[in-house]
Amino acid sequence: MRTLSECQEIINQAFLEMNLPEEPANLFDPLRYVLRLGGKRIRPSLVLMACNVFSETIEDAIYPALAMEVFHNFTLVHDDIMDNALLRRGRPTVHTKWNRNTGILSGDAMVIKSFELLTHVSQGFMPELLALFCRTALKVCEGQQYDMDFETRKEISLDEYLKMIELKTSALIAASLKTGAVIGGAGKNDAEHLYEFGRNVGIAFQIQDDYLDLYADPLIFGKNIGNDIVANKKTILFALATQTAQGKVKRELMHWLESKEFNRIEKINAVKAIYDKLGIREQIIRYIKHYHETGVSHLKRIAVSESQKDELLKVSDFLLVRNE
Amino acid sequence: MRTLSECQEIINQAFLEMNLPEEPANLFDPLRYVLRLGGKRIRPSLVLMACNVFSETIEDAIYPALAMEVFHNFTLVHDDIMDNALLRRGRPTVHTKWNRNTGILSGDAMVIKSFELLTHVSQGFMPELLALFCRTALKVCEGQQYDMDFETRKEISLDEYLKMIELKTSALIAASLKTGAVIGGAGKNDAEHLYEFGRNVGIAFQIQDDYLDLYADPLIFGKNIGNDIVANKKTILFALATQTAQGKVKRELMHWLESKEFNRIEKINAVKAIYDKLGIREQIIRYIKHYHETGVSHLKRIAVSESQKDELLKVSDFLLVRNE
């Protein structure tokens, strides 16, 4: 079975060999730039690994794998414009390095390119995989829209949060796994179990991302702690806290959320203390564990030998114990 | 044979019946808004009419026809952001009515939706039509990029202009016709002739668009004359004039192109007088005629009875004699 790092290598190599037109340079240079910024190549690697669970050869899964990564990178380019983000993976974002219009248009070219890459699957799989990809791509847009809608909201419920991250993050991870499974020749049930594995692990992964923003070891995490609190970002911590807090604690929480002028460290410490009172950290660890275990239970139910699932199991463990 | 207006009616009806999710409203309301702004529905009607040339039933062509129109409208939404356009079809543009981020994201949802609509073709046609659609969609982005690149250029050649409009405008018209032809069961040669019909008529149509900006009867045209001259827009008039002018005339032209402060009417009249000296108007009429006739010659070579081509012939005449 191919390991994650073997699959990452295959993907990086395939991107190096991918032909993109030279002209117009202002359209295709940003594509080359973004696709060579790196990243962990999780989604395309999952396509290959899922295929590999059911098939020794994984060559047919390479183009669809690239499709997932190009689509994912398209969302990053456009999200960075919407969020006015200056940096991505430590380098200038496309709209910063070029300009906003170039970011919009080269993002458009990327989403089209992702569909083009997907059309390299064999004709028999095409209707199913295209329908899945379209449905998933639209979900990602819906998730981004909910995320933007949340910015102007005072409170969000846990259910709203979970729906948003399922759309924005975990749908594409799940679809990557299912796409690989279908190409590898998985039966309907097995493909669905891999989808559910990805959907649940994807949710756990995103919850962990929120968790780490506050509770990670800053030396390992490599960035400041508490940015989400400073920005009132609608994370699962935020959702659980606004939903759980009552009386005086709730008023104190809302005071901090509504403050326009505050000391950064003071706000982080105050909100963190409220989270502690409410037992948010423990709740979140339970949620991560729950979704992780649910995901793995789907992996276990796939009708192949355990050794064939080992590498995927390792990926989910790798994704979910990064910093503890 | 269905007429253009019958096809337009079918398309408008299909859009009314098209199911779009209600939520998130900020994502899908702009889609509904744009798709109900109207427009001439030329591209989807051409899909249906091209299908009708080869087949009595055109039902299978409706979804792909909608795909072309949704894609076209996606390009309008994103182009309007890039051009800072306030109005589209006399109504506020999406980014004006909502905001820039909504314009970006709902445009993204539209391009995905266009692919989703296209996947409703029968499996046998899917690889060919998807490949054509991807290639065409990328061309449209390339054309838009060249158009933006031209904004900072002092001169452009006729060839550069023709390449740009072929990518930005006529590729989608040509692909609409070919898509309909393929679904209608056309042979390879006939489908290619319809493509070439559309490609040439599309070029003629865009050249005419440039022509009308200066030479149309303002009462019929419904907007001010000479906007392109005021904005130094890189039209075919601009390309021919900068390419043809020499000596004193060239210096006079460049003076007007480089002026930062000028009287609008004075600039229009001065540049128009230069165009007259250079015989630009007559040249352009010849180009329109040339591309129109080349397009029609391809229509004539299609191996069906003349009466089956009549409605498409009428469309090309309708598109190309609007204002003379």
Q: What does the pLDDT look like over B257-304, one tens digit per residue? A: 999 999 999 999 999 999 999 999 999 999 999 999 999 999 999 999
Residue A38 CA: distances (Å) to CA of A16, A49, A61, A69, A88? 11, 19, 20, 11, 10
User: pLDDT 10s per residue in chain B (324 long)?
Assistant: 999 999 999 999 999 999 899 999 999 999 999 999 889 999 999 999 999 999 999 999 999 999 999 999 999 999 999 999 999 988 999 999 999 999 999 999 999 999 999 999 999 999 999 999 999 999 999 999 999 999 999 999 999 999 999 999 999 999 999 999 999 999 999 999 999 999 999 999 999 999 999 998 877 776 788 999 999 999 999 999 999 999 999 999 999 999 999 999 999 999 999 999 999 999 999 999 999 999 999 999 999 999 999 999 999 998 887 544
DSSP state for residue B321 in the 8-state scheme: S
pLDDT tens readout for residues B13-36: 999 999 899 999 999 999 999 999
How near does any CA of chain A get to the CA of B279, in Å? Answer: 32
How near does any CA of chain B get to the CA of A59, in Å? Answer: 19
Is residue A61 a contact partner of residue A53, using CB atoms and an 8 Å limit? no
Closest residue on chain B to A102 (Cα): B145
Closest residue on chain B to A140 (Cα): B109
CB spacing of B126 vs A131 below 8 angstroms: no
Q: Is A28 exposed, middle or buried (0-12, 13-18, 19+ CB in 10 A)?
A: buried
Closest residue on chain A to B125 (Cα): A123
Residue A24 with chain B: CB contacts under 8 Å: 142, 145-146, 149
Spatial distance between the Cα atoms of B227 and B80, rounded to a whole number of angstroms? 17
Is residue A117 a contact partner of residue A138, using CB atoms and an 8 Å limit? no
Domains and CATH numbers, chain B: 1-120 (1.10.600.10), 125-324 (1.10.600.10)
How near does any CA of chain B get to the CA of A70, in Å? Answer: 14
H or E stretch at B88: strand B87-88
A60-A61-A64 Cα angle (round to 5):
115
Spatial distance between the Cα atoms of A120 and A47, rounded to a whole number of angstroms? 14
DSSP state for residue B89 in the 8-state scheme: T
Strand B91-92 relative to strand B87-88, pairing: antiparallel
Closest residue on chain A to B27 (Cα): A145
Residue B135 with chain A: CB contacts under 8 Å: 116
Interface predicted TM-score (ipTM): 0.95
| Low pLDDT (below 70) residues in chain A | 222, 322-324
Residue B144 with chain A: CB contacts under 8 Å: 105
Q: Which of A115, A120, A146, A160 to mutate to test the interface with B (most CBs of B within 10 A)?
A: A115
Q: How many CB atoms lie within 10 A of CB A91?
A: 15
Q: Is B55 exposed, middle or buried (0-12, 13-18, 19+ CB in 10 A)?
A: middle
* Cβ-based contacts under 8 A for chains A and B: 111
Strand B91-92 relative to strand A87-88, pairing: unpaired
| DSSP, residue by residue, A163-189 | HHHIIIIIHHHHHHHHHHHHHHT--HH
Tell how far CA A257 is from the center of its chain. 26
The shortest CB-CB distance from B105 to any of A113, A127, A145 is to A145
Phi, psi of A233 (to 5 degrees): -65, 140
